[in-house]
Amino acid sequence: MKGHCIATGLLLVAALALPGCGTKVVPCSRAEIFCVGLVTESGRRDDRSYNQAAWEGLKQGKTEGLADWIASIETVDARDYDENIGVFVDAGYDVIVTVGSAMDEATRAAALKYPEIYFIGVDQPQPAEEEAIPNLAGVVFPEDQLGFLAGALAAMMTRSGKIGAVCVSDAWPPAQRYGEGYRAGAEYVNPAVEATIVYHDEVVLDKSFSDPAWSAAETDALIDSGADVIFGVGGTTGAEALFSAAKRGAYVVGADMDQFFILPLAAPRLLTSTVKLVTPAVVDLIAEAKQAQGRVGVFRFGDYVGQVGLAPYHDLDQFIPGTVKSRMAELSQALSLGEVQTGVSISNP
């Protein structure tokens, strides 16, 4: 695509331009200019979710002097993933960051085709070491720890002694890790609490992640049975669980990113969200890519396990006892240090 304006369907958010397009020409073909590009999963860059967290990593990398030039492409249609990655390839970028499991196939194909470029795939688990690609790192997270934190908080905040989780299909291993981690966390802090985990029975993940009607029905059933804290996991399915539970007056716990900003209708009943800390992982891998620049053994390819944590308690901060906050802080640290184990062992296929 060199020498041509960006094709229809691609939206350039930063100064990634080519001759004749009316803006500054990208200098990334020069060896001394280290360039990092971001291709979003379908959706906006500033989505208060993975896309934005990854973009914050690029911005921080530039601030810290790791990158000389950064840019992003917002994907309008999932069919454009290959083409969007190709824009940065043709422009001479050194590192390309892609976001979300839906981009896994396109990212792996590009990494194999362009071994001189480093690729970072956010939330993209990589295969065993013998099948890993030397210039591709997948940022993954211990979802069992995220679920564990959610379950522990739910068990400490329930009044009925019953809590629930509504998750996308357990054919997706991270969903199992979330759900079983939730059960383990609740049992860890209070074995008397009854934790019910509901998984979608649709193995086609696109449908599993986008079934608000199923989620609403399952959430209502959990609340009707006495559950007063609900954990929602996965796309619009998980979001609907939070909406439906909040509407019924239950407390809710979000997953992945801080749902307070993403789901305002659920925010008044949102205790917190268990979050994947994408930004520091992206910064770390950009630093390794810059240090490596062709040297074997420097870039950490394969799976890079990122850190997890808790979002602020926001509007419910004053209603959560100090003892609960202290216990959650202790558990979060103990999990990160390996002092507490979830006991959940579910591997990607």
pLDDT, mean of residues 132-161: 97
What was the pLDDT predicted at 78? 86
Q: Please state the pTM of the whole predicted model.
A: 0.85
Find out whether 58 and 35 touch, Cβ atoms under 8 Å. no
Eight-class DSSP state of 93? -
Model confidence at 15: pLDDT above 80 = no
Model confidence at 62: pLDDT above 60 = yes
Whether 143-276+313-337 and 10-140+278-305 are alike in CATH topology: the answer is: yes
CA end-to-end distance (rounded Å), the chain: 36
Give the architecture-level CATH label for domain 143-276+313-337. Answer: 3-Layer(aba) Sandwich (3.40)
Distances (CA, A) of 99 to 17, 40, 49, 54, 316: 22, 5, 10, 7, 31
CA pair distance 258, 245, nearest whole angstrom: 17
pLDDT digits (tens, 9 = 90+) for 83-123: 999 999 999 999 999 998 889 999 999 999 999 999 999 99
pLDDT, mean of residues 281-296: 89
Sign of CA dihedral 153, 195, 263, 73: positive
Q: For residue 333, what are its two tokens?
A: 């640290």
What is the residue extent of each domain of the chain?
A: 10-140+278-305, 143-276+313-337
Pick the CATH number of 10-140+278-305 from 3.40.50.2300, 3.90.1170.50, 3.40.50.11240, 1.10.357.10: 3.40.50.2300
What was the pLDDT predicted at 294? 63
